[in-house]
Amino acid sequence: MKSNNKIIRKIEKIEKLLNEVKEEINFITSEQKPVKEKTKKEVRNWDHNSLQSEFDKLYQEYTDKNDSSLINNFVNEKSVIYLKDFCKANNISLDSKNGSKDKISNEILKWFTQRKAISKRL
């Protein structure tokens, strides 16, 4: 009888500890979820119009100075997420798998060169 009671008490202690561990795990996971959501929302704080005006400003600087290093500097200063949104807002096609800064820079330069060539003909 005494040994049964001891075993039952030990099982009750184990159950209590398990419940405490479950509560701690739930608490930790509930704290981590909002942090991930906040970072996603904070990353994108620009709108479509500002991206287009940034594109026009960059093109104007490129045509004034005729210097492709301006584009490289611009691309290197920005995050990849910003650059992908920048290209999307300005209809610059990018391969989503190969979104490196070098490829983005080359694509922007290609668009500027085409735009400059087209506008000279007029």
Shared-domain flag, residues 71 and 106: yes
Domain of residue 18: give its range: 1-43
Rounding to the nearest 10 degrees, give the CA dihedral for residues 11, 13, 19, 22.
Answer: -90
Question: Does the predicted model carry a pTM greater than 0.85?
Answer: no
Shared-domain flag, residues 57 and 34: no
Across the chain, which has 122 residues, the per-10-residue mean pLDDT values are 85 91 86 56 73 90 87 89 87 73 87 84 57
Q: How many domains does the chain have?
A: 2
Question: What's the confidence (pLDDT) of residue 98?
Answer: 65
Shared-domain flag, residues 15 and 39: yes
Residue 76, token pair as written in the block: 């290197």
Shared-domain flag, residues 35 and 57: no
Question: What's the confidence (pLDDT) of residue 14?
Answer: 93
Q: Which amino acid is at 92?
A: I
Question: What's the confidence (pLDDT) of residue 40?
Answer: 52
